[in-house]
Every structure is written in structure tokens, then in C-alpha cells.
Structure 1
């Protein structure tokens, strides 16, 4: 296989399950292809007939290279490219049930067991071994060397050449999955890459971390050739920076900046571009660092007094790592021609907008000014020199900078006066801000009909300029604001999701205003979607009603399956749930201990039990084991890392009064999540728990860990409803010693609140988004229920989009026009599982891969 465009081949394989291979002149024997099939089946994949036929024509070296590329890409996506050996190698068997007795034996051995002495537990001689490098003395009669993979005392990895450790136990193969995911032959890699680049550029919201990585990979592979594929407009400013900042790394700067000039329109665009070029994040959210502050100084600060209670861990420490956010990034070297080109770009902007835009990110511009040296060219670029004087609050000669009132200063004055008319007059200058503050403006207007009318008039005049994701958010949000609620949840910018809850202080919005705004939003959305390609038939899974339209994608975890935050998926009752965690410390890095736990709660969110490092098994009142941990490894040395597992028997847990099972990932001690070589976790749904500890064929979710420290709450099992709630939420926690016990208040506060938040309909579902597209673009819409039955509703002759949408929303079994069939013409499909063979050239969104390749992502439906 050619070695060029490796990244592009890999991302198209991951995203679209397609393999690109040129026609060869050979004909490999069936036996050779059977080996290919066996390897893929281990990952839960199979070749389509046409892909198999194409691969069979390749020469043996090219075929082997192709097989290795496919295996490496898919294994990395699932986590199968890592070693997964838990502390207890015979897990789920031979896991000690009495964790307290085991802990007592470990402590006594740590402090009292000496080499060349009888075992202090069993009294036998000649059974002890000194493990390296921890130097613990372990008795093979008391601790099973055929079960442990690390030191039984400290749970750190040890030299496995010690006679204490017996050979790995033989593991049987688990039950094979009944359905394999299909890989198909791609027609043209360049066409697929071009379509993907264009779709990403046309996105109307910030891309997820996975999309960002793929976008950068495409820019790196294709370089300036990418510019021919870029549309005339790129709506999201961060995506502009990602494209041209990445190209700056790989291509000649003058050519890149010449192309970028048509898309870069603000000073913030420029600094974002420089950030990407320097390897930083274009969101300009700041970098979290920890300043080591002497403990004695911390004791004098009132807000930290709770840290120093008697017996506190911090009383024995000399320094406290105080978190600070700094607005700067490590600058790459800027050549003189590049500096002049950037200054010339800034000089081309309107002076007032240039200055105001730089003040929005003042700290960053003060930092960047140290590298641009704008006053060296103050005669050539006077507008830039003036703007830097305002930003720095002084001119190059030390004179005070002139006063400058920003857009937001004028807006805040209107808000302080509670003047809704003045507020919307200011907001009209920036329609995006009007959309984001529409709720606030209506609240300021209150019962004043004149002010409310002014707000609605401004909304109606600007609605065509609002971004599609904002319109979808408002369409779902506004109806929920008709009634008072107890809590308000909001999602600030950040690298990870940290939803904040506050007491709701806002009054409900007027029903008439909400109704008028919703009608305007739906009319605009239908008009936008009707401009997209039309197809006669749309096929939509009803189960997408529980899948949330992606929002705040910047903070989404990197995942093998793009499950949006807040979504709910069914958990098969016959399956066994196995949670997994894997992490690896960087080479020559600090030791880091991550922990995987499951906490159990009843219907009222009262704590029922836990399965964690301090309680390896959780039993119900009837004595049955409802969850088992594979043990707690306390380090993850490079390059193999460490893995932990927890088996959860959902049926037994339900029978023992458990309603909710909460997966909790704790950073117990050591480096932040994001500082590790790699760290990921996920869920397997297995027919049995025998066989390999990690079976990639059964991986239902696999996601990377990000953020600094503390606690990650990825998912909640509702065992009564057989559902999994995907929260993808981080909590700050403590610097060390995080566990379920210390996180219990967060769990019982955050989890029920988040489940209720998403269940309220405050975020649009993929089902309702697909209905909007169907009403605007289709002649017939087919809905598939959870049993697999199809029902169809056709557009009436001359029926407009709004009327068709209304009928689709009331669509029930009694409204079925006829027994539908898919036919042979291309259609649009929005599916939970790609388990249907669809006509060629169909447009397909599918949450989970299957026999049909997906062609679009959820975010493409928002553009």
C-alpha cells in the first residue's frame, strides 16, 4: 500500500468504514484472504464482497501493508492496540471478597514482613520473595502468584521475572458477536477527502476534538491543494484558524496568508491563527497552570481555611498547587516577513473594530505584542500601533492611551438601566449577540409591551442572520421558559464539560412572545434546510428521539462513537456490562494512579453500595455479587500502561434494589489526565464474561480522558428503565485522594440534575432535527420503530413545509399511508444503528456503524 496520505486513509476508515485500494494485477488465494477475515473478525469487522475482491488483486506486500494499516487504525479506535492485564489476572474469578481483610494483610506485610524470615501470616519458611523495585516481601502461600500481575502489597508493577509470579493463565475465547460491522471499498479518496473538508468548513459550530484532529490531518496531508476545496465562506472563526494555522506549519507562509486574507476579518481571527501555528488551542480560553504557594501563606487566606482542619493532608505539606489561568501560549518563532504580513493584515481592518476586538483578548495581545514588535513599524502600520497603545494602556513614549468605549460597555450600560429598547438597539449591531441574549432581553423587557415588541421586532429582522446551531438551541429552549424551574444549568467555555448549576432567578417568559419567536425560528430553519439537496424518501429511526443534537462540541470527549452529551441509549437486558479504564504514564514521567469505580443508588438517590479499590466486590442483601472489580493498579509505567475493569450484573443489581449505577473515574494522585501518554475508558456489552479481559468486538463506548484532575462522571445506568445516560461531565474534585466517598455529594447532586435537564426537552433531539430536514426536503418520510417496523407519511400535493412538519410531529400508526418499502433510489437515512442495506449513493447518518457506511456526521445536519 502506498505510504502517502496515511492520515487521510486512517480517518476515512474510522469515519466512513471505507478502504481505498487501486486495482492490482495479482490474484491472492482464498486462504490468504481467510487470514485477513480472521484478523478483522477479532475486532468485530468484516469485508464487503467488492472490497474483498479488490484486495485479492493486490500483490502480497501491498496486501500485508493494507491489512496492517486497517488493523492498526481500527484497533487504536477501539483500544485493542494496548495491553490490558488487570491486577487480578483470573478476573472475574478469584477476586477477594473481603477487601478489609486483604487491606489488613497488606499493611502488616508492608511494615512487618522481612526477607529470610518465616511468613508472618502462615508461618512457613522459604515461601517469601522480594519483589523489585518496590522491595516488598511477599509470600506465595498467602498471595496467589498465578493471579496477581503486580505487587500484592503496593499494587505497583513489579519485575515479572520474580519466581513469585506464575505464568499467565490460559483464557478461553468469549462468545462471538452475532453482527459484524462492514468495511466497504471507497471509490475515490480525493473525492471523499474533498467532500469531508468542505463539510467541515461549512459547519456552523465549533468542531469536536476528533473532528479537529482529522481536519488538521487533512490539511497536513494535502497542503495548499486543500484551498481549492474550501468554500467561499467558513462560518466558524475557530475553523478558519485551524485551516490556515495548520497550513502555515506545512506550506510557504506568503501563499497561505494570501489565501487567508479572504476569510480572516478580525483581530481575533489573526491571534487564533497564530495560536494554531504555535500549537495552541484557537479557542483562547487560557491555559491552566499550578503555582506552588507556601502553605503558611495559604493559611492566612480565608477562602482556604477549610483545607487546614485537624488531620488534613495539607497540614503536612510545604506547598499548595494553586490553580491559575494564564492568557498566553508558547510562541513559535515568527520570521520578520511573517510578522510584517500579520501586521499588514491587521492594518487592513477598520480601526475601531480592530481596537475593540483586540481589547476582547487584551492579555493575549499584550503577550503577542512582545513578538510582533508593532511599534517598530508604527509609521507603516499606524492603526495597529494605535490599537496596541490602547491595549497596553500607554503609547510607545509612555503617554497614557486614549479612552475607548467598547460594544459591551454600551450594552452593559443599557442592561444596568433595565432599558430593553436601548439594549436591542445595541444588539442589532451584532445579530449573533442578539440571538444569544434574546432570553435576557425579554426578561429585561418584563411586562412592558412596548419593550417586548421592540425585542421581537429586532429578533424578526435579524433571524435570517442567526447561526443554525443557535436557532436549534432557541427552538428547544424557549418553550421550557414558559414555566418556573428550580435550577438553571449553563455550560461555560472550556476544554472539558463542566456544567454549572445555580438557583433559577429568572421569571417565566410571556407565552405570546415565545410562540412568535418559535414560529419565526421554525420558518427560518425550514427555509435553510429546503435549500439542501432534495430526496424523495427520508428514513428516520424513532430511537433518535433520545439522542441529543450535538452542542458544546469543543468539550466532547474523543470517542470511537460520537454519542452527544445528554443522550440516552438502551442497554440490552441479556448483556453483561464491563467497564474498562486504561492509562499510561509518559516516558520518564511521574507516577499516576487512576481509579475506576461504580457507585450504586436507589430510586431516591440514596447510596446503596460501591465497587471500587476499597471494596472489590459489591453484594446485595441476598448475598449475590452485583459488581466485581479487577483490582486497583497504582501505576501505569510506559509503554504498556495499566488497565482496570469492573463487571456489572445489571439484572442482579436491579433485583437488589439498585436503580442507578454511576460510573466514576477518579484521578487519585499524580499527573492530570491530559498530561498522560494516553488515557481512555469505555464500556463493553458482553454475552458472557469469560475469555479475554478486553474484547474489542464488544466495545459499545470508548472515549479518551481529558482535563486536569479530579473526577469524571461519564455515564449513569438506569437499571429500572434499562437505559444508559451519557453525561460526559467533569467535576473538579481534589488534587489527590479522589474516590466515590469524597465525590458522593457531587454524584447525588449533579447526576439527577443532569438527567432531569436533558429529559426536559431543553435540547433538541436528533429525531426532531431529522424531521425538520424531512419536512423541508422529502416527499415521503418513513419512521422505523424500535421493533424494526416501518410506517410512512407522504406530502400532500401542494403542501407547504410547515404543514408537512406539523403532520409529521403528530404522525402515529393511524396516519400510515401505506406499507412502505425502501426501493432502489438513493434516500436520506438518519439511523441509530446502520443495520440496513441501503441503496447506493444514499446520504446516511448513523450513530453506530454497521452494514452501511455513514456519509455525514450529526454536525453536518446543523450546517
Structure 2
């Protein structure tokens, strides 16, 4: 019998380390079990005694599907499911020291080398070979065919059966001799129950789900279909998550029946639009998409172009008139999606739901996404039902700026326009009077309202009083944002960072010209926020013991997860992680073009900077080695591959020797992934990058056991800066930010201005405390829910006991200050359940414990960081 619910099994395996195996009535051979253990060990995993005992009850036929599924899913999670063959096959050995000399040989070979003639360099006869399909003629004496995996001249993949490529070139390399920290896999007993628990945790999210969460939600819905309807809670906190859940259900289940259940959760027109987007296979963020539109260039002598035609002229001819008509493909950012099938019963249900909304609220909400509604209206046909649904017909008339009979639509002034008018007039009380209607908006505009109030004490009191009244209705993520934000507002920030809504993070910065807030306003609001957070957390299950890692001080509470890169380890943007000394950082890149797609060249580079962010050097395709004064490589590249044909793709590596870099006065090493030419990241069959920590640089270039980070490349932008290595502090800063770049000729040189602006600004922003850490969030949980708190830090274990009459606020202050600590031990594995928040889940916790662990390791079924926000 085959394995069912495969996608859900893989999700629970990746997230929680659980393998679901039904008990059998046979006895598996020891040889089979050892083979499974060996295969998993090569991926960096070990199985628990319970899991091994369960596998031992299966016949060979029953056993076979499980290791295939487990090994395949775990290999894919960390990028070990594809071949990694760099240009220089023997990397890190035999990388040319002089990149300019290599380039000169390429150029002269390209232009001068001909078939059947002596080599232009060594003058030997009979040593040249014509490679297919590029037709470059290469000499096997001047270019080492045992070291190259592609054409040495153009660096494109070619037919490897050519005699140029020496025998044995593609034999597998041995597994490196590394010290490995293995991750534990355990037995899962009840797959539907585990799936339901995970589904309910997605519903309870208080912020937008990450791409990984959204994919796993879809897997559960696809696997369990109608069963999921019984798992739906009465309330789903985040509207975009509502859309993801019900949009997925509409695709899988009976549409009218599912929509009937969805109605209770769709409070606004935007909720309906987002759900319709997910149902249609589009993204619910409603940020539009880049599409190609065919446009005819104007003929010579035609009238001066205007509008879109004028833009075409500017793009393709620098503003000059073009001589003849020609159809061109132009990228257009369109606010629409391909609408899924809308049968008449579903259309009527959608229109009826919209009709039941407040008329003015409906119009205002639809105007927020006017372009989308203009497009969707073509499929809903609202004016066919104008008599039955008159308010919907009116709203569409306003959106379209005219009624079906051509008469102009009435002018409409909405909620946000009234707030902006009050702000421009400097009338904070009027602003607040309007904002009281929407507590969430009041919380988001609280800082703005205080600035509008200025030094007017009466106006400040109105703002603060309104905020105090609204606090119980504010979402946890908003309260936590204010918890970090407010203490920083007593002084100007070094720089302001903005995070525009979208599919990838493109941080926008500006000088901080905001007036600072009054100390009494900061203190009053801060106390309200902290008290409200502690009150809510106190309603959660209590624990006798809480275990916290001080290493979480540098791990940022997740925010804006919509734009987070899909990653094997869920690092939140701005997180800083300590790296062990001595190990070489090996960065890797893999990408693959679609089976039918354009040739795409993606480059992996590392740029080096000193303490003041002055540029020091680079290791990239145009400088394969970056050497120190002692001529030893600080960094070296595995070479530049300029295409990635389906199905194997292409790979590049860069080794960074941190100790040597620090000795040369280097402070920062920035990983940069550039889309040099070809398709954007999002259009590729697959594309990812990551980081290994290596001691043994021999053997396989890619060792999945030593992968610390693996993250997908996404979006339309050409330059991606995932991380910065601080070689002086031996830390890694996770930035996960894209910057606008063209799809041609991107490299570190052309991106240097963006690098030296974005990286220091982001590092400084997160160091300022504007975003709170997971340690601070864990302290809030411990102070509200725990009786005893054990803190694990560099100096060992410290214990804190709550006093008999000690309030959560007082206990929290003492935990922050470290007052009243005594030596402590970790709780015994057979003891009562604990609450734990760990950097490395390298401890065995009692059964029934609740644990967040950034790096899972031995912890089974950890919760996600987002679960601590609910």
C-alpha cells in the first residue's frame, strides 16, 4: 500500500521532524534498517528509538515508500536533491590565480582559434577540439579538460562526450570528513490530528503567513479537502490568511457550500477580492504582477505618440521616433489576475455578500483596489443583477467612474481622505475622532497622531486616551511593533526604513525628520502596551518552568513575513547569528532554466568592506580569487557558469576564509546574487542559494549535512543581498533584501552604491531595537506564564523564581535586569512539561513541552515563531 497524504507528510516532516508510519505485523531485516539509517545520516539526520521500532514492524514492500519520501523531502529542504557541478570541477583546488590571464585566453581563443590549425597559444597540433553546440575550438593542453565542466571559452554547458573532457571527470567525489550535528527524526502517531493542529495554527496566525506557511496550508487543504471544513475556527485573525484558507478550499471543495461558510469571515470587499484571487491561483497581497504586452511601434510619418505609445518610444529608442511599425513585447505592471471559473451560483453568492455590506464602506473599500475591481467586474457582470443588488451596482459605477448609461458617478469621500484632511489641518482631535471607528488604524497611526498634536497637552491627552481605550482591540503583532518602536522615539533615528507591501523585500530608507515624542507620552503608551501584552499571555497555559536562550537576543521577531524568502531555517529579517570560529563559509548558488526558456546567467559574488564600509575587494566571475597580502586566498570562486539547462541546472560556490579576511583589516563580507542576464528569478524552474560551514574543503563541494542556510531566490529584481558576514565579530546578519536592478550586466561593481547604502542602514536599524527580539518576546511569555525561569547564556544557567505576590510586570523587570538569579539546571527529560524558547534545540525536553527553536536539532514538533505572537 502506497503512502497517502504525501504533501502533508512532507510538511510535518520538514517543520516538526515527524515521520508517520502505521504499525505493521512483520519484522524488517536489520540490514534494511541500517541502510535507512545510513542514508539519513548522509543527510545529517538520525532516527529515534521509537521510530526505528515502528519501522521494524514493516515488510520490505511496506517499508520501501517511507525512506524514499523522507530522504527525498529532507534532501530537497536543504538543497541536496540536485547535482552540483561547478565550472572548475576540482574546486577549491586548481582555481586560476590570474583572472585577467584567463579572460585573455578566452577572448583570443574565441576570435583566433580555428579548427584543424595549431593552437594559437602552445602551437601544438592535434590538441584542439570543437565543442558542441557553441563551436568553440579549445586546446586540451592549454585548458585542463579534467578541471572544466563546461566550455572554457563561453562558459556555457556543452556536449560532455567530447574528448576534451578527460575520463573520470564526472565521477562522484567522496563525502567530506566533517563534524556533523545531527538532527533527530521521531515517530508521528496520528497524521490527521497533526495536520489539524498545524492547520489550526495557521488559522490562529496574527500576521500574514510566510510563503512556506502558505504552501503547507495548501498541501493540507489538497490532501484533506472537505475534512478541513470541520476544522475551521469561529475566527481567523488576519484577513489575508482568510483569503488563503478559503481560496484554497474553494478550489478543492464544493464552491457554493464553501463560500457559504466563508461568508462569516469575509468582512470587507477586499476580503472577497483576495479570496477570489487565491481561488484563481493568484496572490492575495494584490500587488499586481509584471506581464508582457504586445504593442505595435508606430510607422514613420505617423502622428506623435502619446500615453503608452510614447512610453514605448522612450524605452526602445531613447525617445527618438522609430522608422517602421514593429510589434514589441513590453513589460507592464498590471493590477489584475486571470480569474478562475465563476459559475452563476457562485457569482450570485459573491454579489449577494457584497450587497449586505455597508454601502459607503463597500464603495470605499473597492476604491482601494480600483483597477482590480474594474477587471473583476467584467467577470461578475454586476449590472445584470442591478435590480437585485443595487448597492453593488452603485459601487461598481463609482469604481468605473460612470454608470452603465454613461452618466458620471457621484463623487465619494472616504475614511482615509477625512483622516488625511484632519492631519493636513493639524487637528489631532478630529483625526482621533475618526480613527476611533477603527482601532487597528488608530494603533498604526498613533505615532503620527502624537506628532500632529505636537506640544498641545490637551491634544496629546486626547490621543493617548483614545489609544488606551483601543489597546485591548489591537492585534498582538501591532502591540509588539509598538513595544519596540516607542522606546526609540525619544531621539531621532539614524535612518528610517520602510517596507513597502509586495512579494519581495525592497527596503526604502529616508532621513528621520520626524519630531521626537514627549517622554511622558512614550512612557504612558509603553506601559499600556506592556500591560496589555502580559494580560493576554497570562490567559495561555501556565508552566512551572520556562527555559530561555540568551542567544535569541539577536533573533528578530518576524514581521512582514509575506516577503520572507522560502528558507529551510525560518530566519526573520534583521536576525544576527553567531558563527563558530575556524570554519570556512562556503556560499552556494543553484539555478535551473525551464525546459523551454531563455538562457539565464546568475552570478554569485562576495564583496568585501572595511569598518567604515569602504570597498576593499571582490570575489566574483571577474575576479576568481581575492588574495591577501600573504598571497593566500581570502576568497575564491568555483567559476562562472553562464547558463543552467534543464534538468540539471548549474551551480557556483565561493569560499570565504574569515580568519584571513580579519587579518587583512576586512570587517564585512556581503553575499550578492546578481541576475546578470536572462530570466528573472521568479520565472526559473528553480533557484536557490545558501551557506555551509566547512572544515574539510575536499570531497564533495556540496555537503547537505553542513548546510546552515538554504533560501529560494524570488521576485523580479536583479540584485539580491541575502546576508552579511561580520568577520570581526564572527556573526552573520540576515538581510533578505532585493534592490532594483536591470536584467542585464548586474555585478558588484554596478551594485556597489546600493550595497554600501542598504547594508549598513539595515544593520544599524535592527541594532537600534526598533524591532524587538525573540528573547524579549520569550521574556514576556515567561513573566506571564511561568513560575520559574531558567536562562541559558554564555556564563551558564541562571534560575529566577517568581515571588509569592510578584506581579507579571515586576517579574518581567527583574528578568530583564537579571536580579535575584541563582545557579540552575535544565529540567529533567522525564519531568513536567516546560515552555522553552531556544536558539539551538539541542536539549531533550519533557513530553508535552512547548518549544520554539530556531535550529530544531533534537527538539521534536517545535512551534513556529509566529505561534508566539498569537
Which bracket does the TM-score occupy, shorter chain normalised? Answer: over 0.9
CA contact (8 A) 2:601 2:676 kept: yes
Return the offset for 1:172.
3.2
Match of 2:640 in 1: 632
Q: Measure the CA separation in 2 of the matches of 1:2 and 1:306.
A: 55
Q: Say which is worse superposed, 591-600 or 405-414, in terms of deviation.
A: 405-414
- Structure 2 counterparts to residues 490-509 of structure 1, below 5 A: 490-509=498-517
Q: Say which is worse superposed, 21-30 or 561-570, in terms of deviation.
A: 21-30
Superimposed CA distance per residue, residues 212-263 of structure 1 (whole angstroms, 9 cap, x where no aligned partner): 1001111111112112222110010011111111111111112101111111
Return the offset for 1:179.
2.1
- Structure 2 counterparts to residues 44-123 of structure 1, below 5 A: 44-123=44-123
1:259 pairs with 258, 261, 267, which one? 261
CA contact (8 A) 1:663 1:713 kept: yes
Q: Measure the CA separation in 2 of the matches of 1:269 and 1:709.
A: 28
Match of 2:686 in 1: 678
Superimposed CA distance per residue, residues 809-839 of structure 1 (whole angstroms, 9 cap, x where no aligned partner): 1115xx2245334031110110111100111
Q: Secondary structure at the match of 1:262?
A: helix
Match of 1:533 in 2: 541
Return the offset for 1:307.
11
The Cα RMSD (Å) is: 2.1
Match of 2:750 in 1: 742
1:845 pairs with 852, 856, 860, which one? 852
**What are the ranges of 5 or more consecutive residues in structure 1 without an aligned counterpart?**
none
Match of 1:137 in 2: 137
Return the offset for 1:567.
0.3
CA contact (8 A) 1:224 1:256 kept: no
Q: Say which is worse superposed, 486-495 or 156-165, in terms of deviation.
A: 486-495
CA contact (8 A) 1:616 1:629 kept: yes
Q: Secondary structure at the match of 2:62?
A: helix
Match of 1:33 in 2: 33
Superimposed CA distance per residue, residues 738-758 of structure 1 (whole angstroms, 9 cap, x where no aligned partner): 000001111111111111100
1:244 pairs with 243, 246, 250, which one? 246
1:693 and 2:693 correspond? no
- Structure 2 counterparts to residues 6-45 of structure 1, below 5 A: 6-45=6-45
Q: Secondary structure at the match of 2:772?
A: coil
2:347 pairs with 339, 344, 347, which one? 339
Return the offset for 1:3.
3.0
CA contact (8 A) 1:846 1:854 kept: no
1:792 and 2:799 correspond? yes
Distance 1:821 1:731, change over 3 A: closer
Count of paired positions: 853
2:209 pairs with 190, 207, 210, which one? 207
Match of 1:819 in 2: 824
Match of 1:656 in 2: 664
Q: Measure the CA separation in 2 of the matches of 1:730 and 1:320.
A: 28
Q: Measure the CA separation in 2 of the matches of 1:75 and 1:274.
A: 35
Q: Measure the CA separation in 1 of the matches of 2:718 and 2:327.
A: 19
Return the offset for 1:854.
3.5
CA contact (8 A) 1:151 1:157 kept: yes
Match of 2:811 in 1: 804
1:179 pairs with 173, 178, 181, which one? 181
Q: Secondary structure at the match of 1:574?
A: coil
Return the offset for 1:300.
12
**What are the ranges of 5 or more consecutive residues in structure 2 without an aligned counterpart?**
299-303
Return the offset for 1:305.
9.3
Q: Measure the CA separation in 2 of the matches of 1:557 and 1:642.
A: 21
Match of 1:476 in 2: 484
Q: Secondary structure at the match of 1:701?
A: strand
Distance 1:577 1:225, change over 3 A: same
Q: Secondary structure at the match of 2:286?
A: coil
Match of 2:450 in 1: 442
Distance 1:42 1:352, change over 3 A: same
Return the offset for 1:302.
12
Q: Measure the CA separation in 1 of the matches of 2:668 and 2:781.
A: 36
Match of 1:432 in 2: 440
Distance 1:308 1:611, change over 3 A: farther
Q: Measure the CA separation in 2 of the matches of 1:292 and 1:479.
A: 52
Q: Secondary structure at the match of 1:779?
A: strand
CA contact (8 A) 1:663 1:716 kept: yes
Q: Secondary structure at the match of 2:402?
A: coil
Q: Measure the CA separation in 2 of the matches of 1:742 and 1:83.
A: 31
2:409 pairs with 401, 404, 409, which one? 401
1:548 pairs with 548, 556, 564, which one? 556
Q: Secondary structure at the match of 1:724?
A: strand
CA contact (8 A) 2:266 2:272 kept: yes
CA contact (8 A) 1:661 1:717 kept: yes
Superimposed CA distance per residue, residues 550-588 of structure 1 (whole angstroms, 9 cap, x where no aligned partner): 000000000000011100001111211100000000111
Superimposed CA distance per residue, residues 22-41 of structure 1 (whole angstroms, 9 cap, x where no aligned partner): 11111112121110011001
